[in-house]
Copies of this chain bind each other. A is one copy, B any other.
């Protein structure tokens, strides 16, 4: 099992279909589209100035939306995940 440290979250990225017109992949526009994924594991939260942990806002199993370039790719037991800081998560998809 992978246990993220601090305010980090492990996310299983959802496959994203490329937008195509008649099979031709459209050039992405200047603003990159965010991606979505499912939260798999959570850290204990960032350390506050008084030494306490600030609990994270997201929960395991939630689908979250994040910037295309957020996080670091990790491979664990044959699966690919992203480890990112919670602040890189923009929204929860409910």
Contacts and interface: CB of A to CB of B under 8 A. Distances in A.
Interface in A51-78: 51-52, 54, 57-58, 65, 67, 72-76
Nearest to A1: B94
Contacts of A47: 54
Contacts of A48: 49, 51
A5 B86 contact: yes
A13 to B, nearest CB: 11
Nearest to A44: B57
Contact of A51 (B41, B44, B54): B54
A94 B57 contact: no
- The 3 A-B pairs with the shortest beta carbon distances in the complex, nearest first, are A3-B92, A31-B73, A1-B94
